[in-house]
Structure 1
Amino acid sequence: MTRVLIADDQALVRTGFTMILKAAGIDVVGQAADGLEAVQLARSLRPDVVLMDIRMPQLDGLEATRRVLADVPETRVIILTTFDLDRYVYAALAAGASGFLLKDVSPEHLAAAVTLVGTGDALLSPSITRRLVQRYARPEGETPVPADLSALTPRELEVFRHVGRGLSNGEIADGLTLSEATVKTHVARIFAKLELRDRAQAVVVAYETGLIRPGD
Protein backbone atom coordinates (compact mmCIF):
# COMPACT_ATOMS: atom_id res chain seq x y z
CA MET A 1 0.00 0.00 0.00
CA THR A 2 1.30 3.45 -0.96
CA ARG A 3 1.98 5.61 2.12
CA VAL A 4 1.27 9.32 1.65
CA LEU A 5 2.02 12.53 3.55
CA ILE A 6 -0.16 15.54 2.69
CA ALA A 7 1.37 19.01 3.16
CA ASP A 8 -0.93 21.99 2.67
CA ASP A 9 -1.70 25.05 4.78
CA GLN A 10 -5.44 24.72 4.11
CA ALA A 11 -7.10 22.27 6.48
CA LEU A 12 -10.00 21.75 4.07
CA VAL A 13 -7.63 20.64 1.32
CA ARG A 14 -5.80 18.24 3.64
CA THR A 15 -9.06 16.74 4.89
CA GLY A 16 -10.55 16.40 1.42
CA PHE A 17 -7.46 14.76 -0.06
CA THR A 18 -7.21 12.42 2.93
CA MET A 19 -10.80 11.25 2.46
CA ILE A 20 -10.30 10.71 -1.29
CA LEU A 21 -7.08 8.74 -0.88
CA LYS A 22 -8.36 6.59 1.99
CA ALA A 23 -11.46 5.75 -0.05
CA ALA A 24 -9.12 4.55 -2.81
CA GLY A 25 -7.25 2.28 -0.41
CA ILE A 26 -4.21 4.56 -0.06
CA ASP A 27 -2.67 5.00 3.38
CA VAL A 28 -2.41 8.64 4.51
CA VAL A 29 0.24 8.49 7.24
CA GLY A 30 0.30 12.18 8.16
CA GLN A 31 -0.70 15.77 7.48
CA ALA A 32 1.47 18.89 7.64
CA ALA A 33 0.23 22.49 7.79
CA ASP A 34 3.49 24.13 6.64
CA GLY A 35 6.78 23.33 4.95
CA LEU A 36 8.81 22.84 8.13
CA GLU A 37 6.32 20.35 9.49
CA ALA A 38 6.32 18.56 6.13
CA VAL A 39 10.09 18.08 6.28
CA GLN A 40 9.97 16.90 9.89
CA LEU A 41 7.17 14.41 9.23
CA ALA A 42 8.83 13.14 6.07
CA ARG A 43 11.99 12.41 8.04
CA SER A 44 10.14 10.52 10.75
CA LEU A 45 7.41 8.80 8.72
CA ARG A 46 9.40 8.17 5.50
CA PRO A 47 6.32 8.12 3.23
CA ASP A 48 6.38 6.81 -0.33
CA VAL A 49 4.82 10.03 -1.65
CA VAL A 50 4.46 13.59 -0.36
CA LEU A 51 1.69 15.78 -1.77
CA MET A 52 3.38 19.16 -1.33
CA ASP A 53 1.64 22.52 -1.65
CA ILE A 54 3.97 24.99 -3.37
CA ARG A 55 2.96 27.99 -1.26
CA MET A 56 3.01 27.48 2.50
CA PRO A 57 4.08 29.48 5.58
CA GLN A 58 7.29 28.83 7.52
CA LEU A 59 8.92 27.14 4.54
CA ASP A 60 7.63 27.09 0.96
CA GLY A 61 7.05 23.87 -0.94
CA LEU A 62 10.13 24.34 -3.11
CA GLU A 63 12.63 24.44 -0.24
CA ALA A 64 10.66 21.74 1.60
CA THR A 65 10.95 19.54 -1.49
CA ARG A 66 14.71 20.04 -1.62
CA ARG A 67 15.08 19.12 2.05
CA VAL A 68 12.79 16.10 1.87
CA LEU A 69 14.56 14.66 -1.16
CA ALA A 70 17.97 15.29 0.42
CA ASP A 71 17.01 13.61 3.68
CA VAL A 72 14.66 10.90 2.40
CA PRO A 73 15.77 10.19 -1.19
CA GLU A 74 13.46 7.22 -1.59
CA THR A 75 10.42 9.47 -1.07
CA ARG A 76 8.80 11.04 -4.13
CA VAL A 77 7.19 14.48 -4.16
CA ILE A 78 4.15 15.63 -6.11
CA ILE A 79 3.75 19.41 -6.14
CA LEU A 80 0.27 20.86 -5.58
CA THR A 81 -0.42 24.16 -7.30
CA THR A 82 -3.30 26.40 -8.35
CA PHE A 83 -1.54 27.36 -11.57
CA ASP A 84 -0.54 24.93 -14.32
CA LEU A 85 2.48 27.04 -15.28
CA ASP A 86 3.63 28.24 -11.88
CA ARG A 87 7.30 29.24 -12.03
CA TYR A 88 7.90 27.40 -8.77
CA VAL A 89 6.71 24.15 -10.32
CA TYR A 90 9.59 24.20 -12.78
CA ALA A 91 12.05 24.88 -9.98
CA ALA A 92 10.57 22.00 -7.98
CA LEU A 93 10.97 19.64 -10.95
CA ALA A 94 14.59 20.72 -11.27
CA ALA A 95 14.99 19.99 -7.55
CA GLY A 96 13.78 16.44 -8.11
CA ALA A 97 9.99 16.48 -7.72
CA SER A 98 8.27 13.77 -9.73
CA GLY A 99 5.46 15.93 -11.08
CA PHE A 100 2.64 18.26 -10.18
CA LEU A 101 -1.12 18.31 -9.77
CA LEU A 102 -3.59 21.15 -9.92
CA LYS A 103 -5.62 21.47 -6.74
CA ASP A 104 -8.88 21.04 -8.66
CA VAL A 105 -7.81 17.53 -9.71
CA SER A 106 -10.61 14.95 -9.84
CA PRO A 107 -10.69 12.29 -7.09
CA GLU A 108 -9.97 9.56 -9.63
CA HIS A 109 -6.98 11.40 -11.08
CA LEU A 110 -5.60 12.19 -7.63
CA ALA A 111 -5.66 8.53 -6.56
CA ALA A 112 -4.24 7.35 -9.88
CA ALA A 113 -1.45 9.94 -9.76
CA VAL A 114 -0.38 9.01 -6.24
CA THR A 115 -0.37 5.33 -7.16
CA LEU A 116 1.65 6.00 -10.32
CA VAL A 117 4.32 8.04 -8.56
CA GLY A 118 4.38 5.56 -5.69
CA THR A 119 5.51 2.87 -8.12
CA GLY A 120 8.49 5.00 -9.18
CA ASP A 121 7.18 6.63 -12.35
CA ALA A 122 6.91 10.33 -13.20
CA LEU A 123 3.48 11.94 -13.06
CA LEU A 124 3.95 14.60 -15.72
CA SER A 125 3.58 13.85 -19.36
CA PRO A 126 6.76 14.98 -21.14
CA SER A 127 4.75 17.54 -23.12
CA ILE A 128 3.67 19.35 -19.94
CA THR A 129 7.20 19.24 -18.58
CA ARG A 130 8.47 20.62 -21.86
CA ARG A 131 6.06 23.58 -21.64
CA LEU A 132 7.40 24.43 -18.21
CA VAL A 133 11.02 24.15 -19.29
CA GLN A 134 10.52 26.20 -22.44
CA ARG A 135 8.98 28.98 -20.40
CA TYR A 136 11.34 29.05 -17.44
CA ALA A 137 14.64 27.29 -18.18
CA ARG A 138 17.77 29.43 -18.34
CA PRO A 139 16.32 32.94 -17.99
CA GLU A 140 18.29 35.70 -19.67
CA GLY A 141 21.50 36.45 -17.78
CA GLU A 142 21.35 33.23 -15.75
CA THR A 143 24.20 30.76 -16.02
CA PRO A 144 23.18 27.32 -17.37
CA VAL A 145 23.13 24.52 -14.84
CA PRO A 146 26.36 22.53 -15.38
CA ALA A 147 26.04 18.87 -16.23
CA ASP A 148 28.53 16.43 -17.70
CA LEU A 149 27.08 14.50 -20.62
CA SER A 150 30.47 13.08 -21.61
CA ALA A 151 29.68 9.87 -19.74
CA LEU A 152 27.04 9.08 -22.38
CA THR A 153 27.87 7.10 -25.50
CA PRO A 154 26.89 8.62 -28.87
CA ARG A 155 23.85 6.33 -29.02
CA GLU A 156 22.82 7.20 -25.45
CA LEU A 157 23.17 10.89 -26.25
CA GLU A 158 20.92 10.40 -29.27
CA VAL A 159 18.34 8.56 -27.16
CA PHE A 160 18.58 11.22 -24.45
CA ARG A 161 17.89 13.93 -27.01
CA HIS A 162 14.66 12.15 -27.99
CA VAL A 163 13.69 11.72 -24.31
CA GLY A 164 14.22 15.47 -23.92
CA ARG A 165 11.80 16.09 -26.77
CA GLY A 166 9.15 14.17 -24.87
CA LEU A 167 9.06 10.96 -26.92
CA SER A 168 8.05 7.65 -25.41
CA ASN A 169 10.27 4.56 -25.60
CA GLY A 170 8.09 3.22 -28.41
CA GLU A 171 8.36 6.42 -30.42
CA ILE A 172 12.13 6.52 -29.92
CA ALA A 173 12.39 2.89 -31.03
CA ASP A 174 10.46 3.63 -34.23
CA GLY A 175 12.54 6.72 -35.00
CA LEU A 176 15.92 5.06 -34.44
CA THR A 177 14.92 1.63 -35.82
CA LEU A 178 15.64 -0.10 -32.51
CA SER A 179 13.63 -2.51 -30.40
CA GLU A 180 11.70 -0.98 -27.54
CA ALA A 181 13.62 -3.22 -25.12
CA THR A 182 16.91 -1.79 -26.40
CA VAL A 183 15.65 1.76 -25.96
CA LYS A 184 14.50 0.92 -22.43
CA THR A 185 18.00 -0.34 -21.64
CA HIS A 186 19.58 2.84 -23.01
CA VAL A 187 17.20 5.01 -20.99
CA ALA A 188 17.99 3.07 -17.80
CA ARG A 189 21.73 3.54 -18.37
CA ILE A 190 21.27 7.26 -19.09
CA PHE A 191 19.31 7.73 -15.87
CA ALA A 192 21.97 5.84 -13.89
CA LYS A 193 24.88 7.81 -15.37
CA LEU A 194 23.21 11.21 -14.93
CA GLU A 195 21.59 10.26 -11.60
CA LEU A 196 18.11 11.12 -12.84
CA ARG A 197 15.00 10.09 -10.93
CA ASP A 198 12.57 9.94 -13.85
CA ARG A 199 11.65 11.29 -17.30
CA ALA A 200 10.33 14.57 -15.91
CA GLN A 201 13.75 15.43 -14.51
CA ALA A 202 15.40 14.11 -17.69
CA VAL A 203 13.53 16.66 -19.80
CA VAL A 204 14.62 19.45 -17.44
CA VAL A 205 18.28 18.38 -17.67
CA ALA A 206 18.12 18.05 -21.46
CA TYR A 207 17.08 21.71 -21.70
CA GLU A 208 19.37 23.06 -19.01
CA THR A 209 22.45 21.46 -20.56
CA GLY A 210 21.57 22.92 -23.94
CA LEU A 211 21.08 19.48 -25.51
CA ILE A 212 17.55 20.62 -26.39
CA ARG A 213 16.52 24.23 -26.84
CA PRO A 214 13.05 25.78 -26.85
CA GLY A 215 11.58 25.38 -30.31
CA ASP A 216 13.52 22.22 -31.18
Structure 2
Amino acid sequence: MAAPVRVVLVDDHAMILAGLQAMLSGFSGRVRVIGQAAEPASATRLVTTLRPDIVLLDVRLGAHSGLDLCRSLSAAAPASRVVFLSVYDDEQYVFEALRAGAAGYLLKRVDGIELVRRLEEVAGGETVVDPTLAGRMAASVARLNRGEFWPGAHRGLTQRESEVLSLLVGGLSNRAIAGRLHLSEETVKSHLRTLYRKLEVADRAAAIAVALREGLFR
Protein backbone atom coordinates (compact mmCIF):
# COMPACT_ATOMS: atom_id res chain seq x y z
CA MET A 1 0.00 0.00 0.00
CA ALA A 2 1.36 3.43 -1.03
CA ALA A 3 2.30 5.87 1.71
CA PRO A 4 -0.08 8.83 2.15
CA VAL A 5 0.69 11.99 0.20
CA ARG A 6 2.29 14.45 2.64
CA VAL A 7 0.75 17.92 2.34
CA VAL A 8 1.43 21.38 3.75
CA LEU A 9 -1.49 23.83 3.65
CA VAL A 10 -0.87 27.55 3.05
CA ASP A 11 -3.75 30.03 3.29
CA ASP A 12 -4.16 33.35 5.10
CA HIS A 13 -7.67 32.47 6.32
CA ALA A 14 -7.80 30.31 9.47
CA MET A 15 -11.27 29.09 8.56
CA ILE A 16 -10.04 27.77 5.20
CA LEU A 17 -7.13 26.00 6.86
CA ALA A 18 -9.46 24.40 9.42
CA GLY A 19 -11.90 23.38 6.71
CA LEU A 20 -9.22 21.77 4.56
CA GLN A 21 -7.75 19.98 7.57
CA ALA A 22 -11.20 18.60 8.44
CA MET A 23 -11.93 17.63 4.84
CA LEU A 24 -8.65 15.79 4.34
CA SER A 25 -8.75 14.09 7.74
CA GLY A 26 -11.37 11.73 6.34
CA PHE A 27 -8.80 10.43 3.86
CA SER A 28 -5.87 9.91 6.23
CA GLY A 29 -4.87 6.70 4.51
CA ARG A 30 -4.30 8.58 1.26
CA VAL A 31 -3.38 12.15 2.28
CA ARG A 32 -1.77 13.42 5.48
CA VAL A 33 -1.55 17.10 6.41
CA ILE A 34 1.82 17.61 8.08
CA GLY A 35 1.79 21.38 8.52
CA GLN A 36 -0.02 24.69 8.03
CA ALA A 37 1.10 28.26 7.39
CA ALA A 38 -0.62 31.59 6.82
CA GLU A 39 2.11 33.73 5.25
CA PRO A 40 5.19 33.30 3.02
CA ALA A 41 7.99 33.38 5.61
CA SER A 42 6.54 30.68 7.84
CA ALA A 43 5.46 28.68 4.79
CA THR A 44 9.00 28.70 3.42
CA ARG A 45 10.47 27.60 6.76
CA LEU A 46 7.89 24.83 7.07
CA VAL A 47 8.33 23.51 3.53
CA THR A 48 12.13 23.57 3.58
CA THR A 49 12.12 21.76 6.93
CA LEU A 50 9.39 19.15 6.31
CA ARG A 51 9.88 18.67 2.55
CA PRO A 52 6.24 17.70 1.85
CA ASP A 53 5.16 16.00 -1.35
CA ILE A 54 2.73 18.82 -2.09
CA VAL A 55 2.16 22.40 -0.96
CA LEU A 56 -1.51 23.36 -1.28
CA LEU A 57 -1.37 27.13 -1.73
CA ASP A 58 -3.74 30.06 -2.24
CA VAL A 59 -3.09 32.62 -4.98
CA ARG A 60 -3.45 35.52 -2.56
CA LEU A 61 -1.99 35.55 0.95
CA GLY A 62 -3.20 38.83 2.39
CA ALA A 63 -0.86 41.48 1.02
CA HIS A 64 1.44 38.82 -0.43
CA SER A 65 1.38 36.90 -3.69
CA GLY A 66 1.07 33.13 -3.72
CA LEU A 67 2.64 33.19 -7.19
CA ASP A 68 5.80 34.79 -5.80
CA LEU A 69 5.88 32.22 -3.00
CA CYS A 70 5.50 29.43 -5.55
CA ARG A 71 8.56 30.70 -7.41
CA SER A 72 10.54 30.81 -4.17
CA LEU A 73 9.47 27.32 -3.12
CA SER A 74 10.28 25.91 -6.55
CA ALA A 75 13.86 27.08 -6.01
CA ALA A 76 14.16 26.27 -2.30
CA ALA A 77 12.35 22.91 -2.27
CA PRO A 78 12.06 21.66 -5.86
CA ALA A 79 10.90 18.19 -4.79
CA SER A 80 7.80 19.68 -3.14
CA ARG A 81 5.21 20.27 -5.84
CA VAL A 82 2.89 23.28 -5.55
CA VAL A 83 -0.85 23.05 -6.23
CA PHE A 84 -2.91 26.24 -6.14
CA LEU A 85 -6.35 26.09 -4.52
CA SER A 86 -8.15 29.31 -5.39
CA VAL A 87 -11.50 31.06 -5.74
CA TYR A 88 -10.27 32.77 -8.93
CA ASP A 89 -11.78 30.93 -11.89
CA ASP A 90 -9.85 32.83 -14.54
CA GLU A 91 -7.68 30.87 -16.95
CA GLN A 92 -5.07 33.62 -16.92
CA TYR A 93 -4.33 32.77 -13.29
CA VAL A 94 -3.71 29.19 -14.38
CA PHE A 95 -1.16 30.31 -16.97
CA GLU A 96 0.55 32.49 -14.35
CA ALA A 97 0.57 29.61 -11.86
CA LEU A 98 2.09 27.16 -14.33
CA ARG A 99 4.70 29.72 -15.37
CA ALA A 100 5.56 30.17 -11.68
CA GLY A 101 6.32 26.44 -11.45
CA ALA A 102 3.05 25.06 -10.08
CA ALA A 103 1.95 21.49 -10.80
CA GLY A 104 -1.75 22.21 -10.49
CA TYR A 105 -4.56 24.73 -10.18
CA LEU A 106 -7.85 23.77 -8.52
CA LEU A 107 -10.86 25.76 -7.40
CA LYS A 108 -11.97 25.92 -3.76
CA ARG A 109 -15.36 24.46 -4.63
CA VAL A 110 -13.69 21.06 -5.22
CA ASP A 111 -15.02 18.30 -2.96
CA GLY A 112 -12.88 16.09 -0.75
CA ILE A 113 -12.85 13.00 -2.96
CA GLU A 114 -11.86 15.00 -6.04
CA LEU A 115 -9.21 16.97 -4.15
CA VAL A 116 -7.58 13.80 -2.80
CA ARG A 117 -7.60 12.20 -6.25
CA ARG A 118 -5.98 15.28 -7.77
CA LEU A 119 -3.31 15.46 -5.06
CA GLU A 120 -2.46 11.81 -5.69
CA GLU A 121 -2.13 12.52 -9.40
CA VAL A 122 0.26 15.41 -8.72
CA ALA A 123 2.28 13.27 -6.31
CA GLY A 124 2.51 10.75 -9.15
CA GLY A 125 4.08 13.32 -11.44
CA GLU A 126 1.04 14.70 -13.27
CA THR A 127 -0.05 18.30 -13.72
CA VAL A 128 -3.71 18.96 -12.94
CA VAL A 129 -6.10 21.80 -13.78
CA ASP A 130 -9.70 22.20 -12.69
CA PRO A 131 -11.86 20.85 -15.55
CA THR A 132 -13.97 24.02 -15.71
CA LEU A 133 -10.84 25.98 -16.66
CA ALA A 134 -9.26 23.48 -19.04
CA GLY A 135 -11.49 24.33 -22.01
CA ARG A 136 -10.86 28.06 -21.71
CA MET A 137 -7.12 27.42 -21.46
CA ALA A 138 -7.23 25.36 -24.64
CA ALA A 139 -9.01 28.20 -26.44
CA SER A 140 -6.38 30.70 -25.29
CA VAL A 141 -3.55 28.43 -26.43
CA ALA A 142 -5.26 28.02 -29.81
CA ARG A 143 -5.37 31.80 -30.23
CA LEU A 144 -1.68 32.03 -29.41
CA ASN A 145 -0.87 29.28 -31.91
CA ARG A 146 -2.75 31.24 -34.58
CA GLY A 147 -0.55 34.23 -33.84
CA GLU A 148 -3.35 36.24 -32.28
CA PHE A 149 -1.31 38.15 -29.76
CA TRP A 150 -2.54 41.12 -27.76
CA PRO A 151 -1.14 44.54 -26.79
CA GLY A 152 1.47 44.16 -24.09
CA ALA A 153 2.24 40.49 -24.83
CA HIS A 154 5.87 41.45 -25.47
CA ARG A 155 6.01 42.80 -21.90
CA GLY A 156 4.68 39.52 -20.52
CA LEU A 157 1.07 40.64 -20.04
CA THR A 158 -1.56 37.94 -20.30
CA GLN A 159 -4.58 38.59 -22.49
CA ARG A 160 -6.71 39.35 -19.45
CA GLU A 161 -4.12 41.78 -18.05
CA SER A 162 -4.04 43.49 -21.44
CA GLU A 163 -7.83 43.85 -21.34
CA VAL A 164 -7.64 45.33 -17.84
CA LEU A 165 -4.93 47.77 -18.94
CA SER A 166 -6.94 48.88 -21.98
CA LEU A 167 -9.91 49.72 -19.75
CA LEU A 168 -7.57 51.47 -17.32
CA VAL A 169 -6.33 53.64 -20.18
CA GLY A 170 -9.98 54.30 -21.03
CA GLY A 171 -10.45 55.84 -17.60
CA LEU A 172 -12.60 53.13 -16.01
CA SER A 173 -12.57 52.55 -12.27
CA ASN A 174 -11.82 49.15 -10.76
CA ARG A 175 -15.54 48.60 -10.23
CA ALA A 176 -16.34 49.50 -13.83
CA ILE A 177 -13.57 47.24 -15.14
CA ALA A 178 -14.92 44.39 -13.01
CA GLY A 179 -18.40 44.92 -14.42
CA ARG A 180 -17.18 45.10 -18.01
CA LEU A 181 -15.10 41.91 -17.75
CA HIS A 182 -17.52 40.06 -15.43
CA LEU A 183 -14.87 39.75 -12.70
CA SER A 184 -14.82 40.59 -9.01
CA GLU A 185 -13.14 43.82 -7.92
CA GLU A 186 -10.58 41.77 -5.98
CA THR A 187 -9.68 39.89 -9.17
CA VAL A 188 -9.24 43.19 -11.00
CA LYS A 189 -6.99 44.47 -8.21
CA SER A 190 -4.92 41.30 -8.42
CA HIS A 191 -4.52 41.74 -12.19
CA LEU A 192 -3.46 45.34 -11.63
CA ARG A 193 -0.82 44.36 -9.08
CA THR A 194 0.60 41.83 -11.53
CA LEU A 195 0.63 44.15 -14.53
CA TYR A 196 2.23 46.93 -12.43
CA ARG A 197 5.03 44.50 -11.62
CA LYS A 198 5.45 43.48 -15.25
CA LEU A 199 5.45 47.09 -16.48
CA GLU A 200 7.79 48.04 -13.61
CA VAL A 201 5.50 50.79 -12.31
CA ALA A 202 3.94 51.55 -8.93
CA ASP A 203 0.45 52.82 -9.75
CA ARG A 204 -2.29 53.17 -12.37
CA ALA A 205 -1.11 56.59 -13.61
CA ALA A 206 2.35 55.21 -14.36
CA ALA A 207 0.86 52.13 -16.03
CA ILE A 208 -1.29 54.33 -18.27
CA ALA A 209 1.79 56.43 -19.13
CA VAL A 210 3.74 53.31 -20.18
CA ALA A 211 0.82 52.03 -22.25
CA LEU A 212 0.45 55.33 -24.09
CA ARG A 213 4.20 55.86 -24.51
CA GLU A 214 4.62 52.41 -26.06
CA GLY A 215 1.53 52.81 -28.22
CA LEU A 216 -0.20 49.76 -26.79
CA PHE A 217 -3.61 51.41 -27.02
CA ARG A 218 -4.69 54.32 -29.17
- TM-score of the pair, normalised by structure 1: 0.60
Q: Does 1:51 align with 2:56?
A: yes
What is residue 27 of structure 2 aligned with on the other side?
24
- Residues 125 and 89 (structure 1), Cα distance of their counterparts in 2 relative to 1, 3 Å cut: closer
> Which of the two has higher C-alpha Rg?
2
Equivalent of 2:96 in 79, 88, 91:
91
Match of 1:91, SS state, is helix
- Distance in 2 between residues matched to 1:139 and 1:105, nearest whole Å: 32
What is residue 142 of structure 1 aligned with on the other side?
153
What is residue 150 of structure 1 aligned with on the other side?
none
Equivalent of 2:47 in 29, 42, 45:
42
Cα offsets for 1:60-89 (capped at 9, x unmatched): 110000000111111111111112216333
Q: Which runs of 5+ in 1 are unaligned?
A: 146-216
What is residue 5 of structure 2 aligned with on the other side?
2
Match of 2:129, SS state, is coil
What is residue 11 of structure 1 aligned with on the other side?
14
Matches within 5 A, 1:1-216: 1-25=4-28, 26-57=31-62, 59-85=64-90, 87-124=92-129, 128-129=133-134, 131-132=136-137, 134=140, 139-143=150-154
Q: Is the 8 A contact 2:91 2:136 kept in 1?
A: no
Cα offsets for 1:140-182 (capped at 9, x unmatched): 233288xxxxxxxxxxxxxxxxxxxxxxxxxxxxxxxxxxxxx
Question: Which of 1 and 2 has higher RCO (CA within 8 Å, sep 6+)?
Answer: 1
What is residue 194 of structure 1 aligned with on the other side?
none
- Distance in 1 between residues matched to 2:116 and 2:89, nearest whole Å: 19
- Please report how far the alpha carbon of residue 114 of structure 1 lies from its aligned counterpart in structure 2 after TM superposition: 1.2
Paired residues, what number?
A: 145
Q: CA RMSD in A?
A: 2.6
- Please report how far the alpha carbon of residue 22 of structure 1 lies from its aligned counterpart in structure 2 after TM superposition: 2.3
Percent identical = 34
- Distance in 2 between residues matched to 1:15 and 1:97, nearest whole Å: 23
